Structure 1
Amino acid sequence: MRYALIAAALLAATSAFADDDDAPEFGLAGILSASNSEDLPPITLSAGQPLADAPLKLKSGTYYEIEIEADGSQELALEGAGFFRAIWIDEIVIEGLEIRPLGIDSVEFDEAGTMEIGFVAIKPGRYELRVPQSSGDLQRLDITIE
């Protein structure tokens, strides 16, 4: 009897959600569906240059892809353990090689190259990515997850 009541409650809850016009409409891939993804402007690693033109504002539950481009002018890294723990990383692609890590703290470019990171924003808050041991605002990217 108890299982029948639980099943009826779940059925009522899911049918009420299915009729909700505000409910997100994803494809068979769920939150990884193309309708739930967005490309972000690239991050540029270059000696003395800003990382990005503006701060990033992300929405929790949305899939994003971002390219990190290094021009090779200097060996540069990008750290942001707080941000990397607030997202779920689907994959990192470097020269056609796909990496599916459990998590990362930082990335580093010893020479020119491009890396693409696909991720789902999860935990709302304010975060930053920065060049390690730098103090200037140009070497920091502020990120907000709503």
Structure 2
Amino acid sequence: MPLKAVLAAGLTAGLAAGLALGAGQVMAQTRTLELGAAGLMDRSNRTDLDPIQLGAGSMTSPGTYELNAGGYYRLVIQSDGTAESAIEGAGLFRNVWVNEVVINEIEVRPLGLDSIEFDDEGEAEISFIAITPGQYHIRIRGTSGETQQATFVIR
């Protein structure tokens, strides 16, 4: 039977305790989630974001990603292999909790993440919980143009 929890706009000590226990009620203001046996990390609570596409010197994203603090997300980054591409997103990655990065069906559970480099065609899946409200960017390393970045807003 699913558990109910009310999530706050930010990650509070109560939410952290609810994640650790995987059960119970966490009081806050925004919305109600039906939590399965895995708590917040249950797949039914995950939002799959539109993928980011990398090509020779370009990054294509669907626009600004609007995220909720305390929400569970999965982002796929795909490279077409036309050029070696390194993306950096330290601002975003330091303000989310990275659950795992999946590359070629190998799951990696990092303590932190700064950048990902594609030497060839392929994709990386990053699942995370948004934590700190603010505006963050993932960009092609060493660039500043708008066609070489994706914007994330955590509310």
**TM-fit CA distance, 1:76:** 0.7
User: Per the alignment, in what secondary structure is the counterpart of residue 147 of structure 2?
Assistant: helix
Q: Give the match for residue 107 of structure 2.
A: 98
What is the distance in 2 between the residues matched to 1:140 and 1:81?
13
* TM-score after normalising by structure 1: 0.81
Among residues 52, 71, 77, which one is paired with 2:80 in the alignment? 71
User: Per the alignment, in what secondary structure is the counterpart of residue 129 of structure 2?
Assistant: strand
For the 8 Å contact 2:57–2:85, the answer to whether it is kept is no
What is the distance in 1 between the residues matched to 2:154 and 2:133?
5
1:23-102 matches, within 5 Å, as: 23-102=32-111
Q: Pairwise CA RMSD of aligned residues?
A: 2.1
Among residues 100, 110, 124, which one is paired with 2:119 in the alignment? 110
Q: Give the match for residue 128 of structure 2.
A: 119
Q: How many residues align?
A: 130
User: Per the alignment, in what secondary structure is the counterpart of residue 83 of structure 1?
Assistant: helix
Segments of structure 1 that go 5 or more residues without pairing to the other structure are 1-14
Gap change, CA 1:49 and 1:100, over 3 Å in 2: same
Segments of structure 2 that go 5 or more residues without pairing to the other structure are 1-23
Query: Relative to total residues, which structure has the larger helix share, 1 or 2?
Result: 1
Gap change, CA 1:16 and 1:114, over 3 Å in 2: closer
The answer to whether residue 149 in structure 2 is matched with residue 140 in structure 1 is yes
For the 8 Å contact 1:17–1:23, the answer to whether it is kept is no
The structure having more radius of gyration, on CA atoms, is 1
| Runs ≥4 residues deviating over 6 A | 15-18
What is the distance in 2 between the residues matched to 1:118 and 1:17?
22
The code of the aligned residue for 2:78 comes to E
Gap change, CA 1:27 and 1:97, over 3 Å in 2: same
Identity of aligned residues (%): 43
User: Per the alignment, in what secondary structure is the counterpart of residue 35 of structure 1?
Assistant: helix
Deviations 1:116-136 (A, max 9, x none): 111111111110111111132
User: Per the alignment, in what secondary structure is the counterpart of residue 32 of structure 1?
Assistant: coil
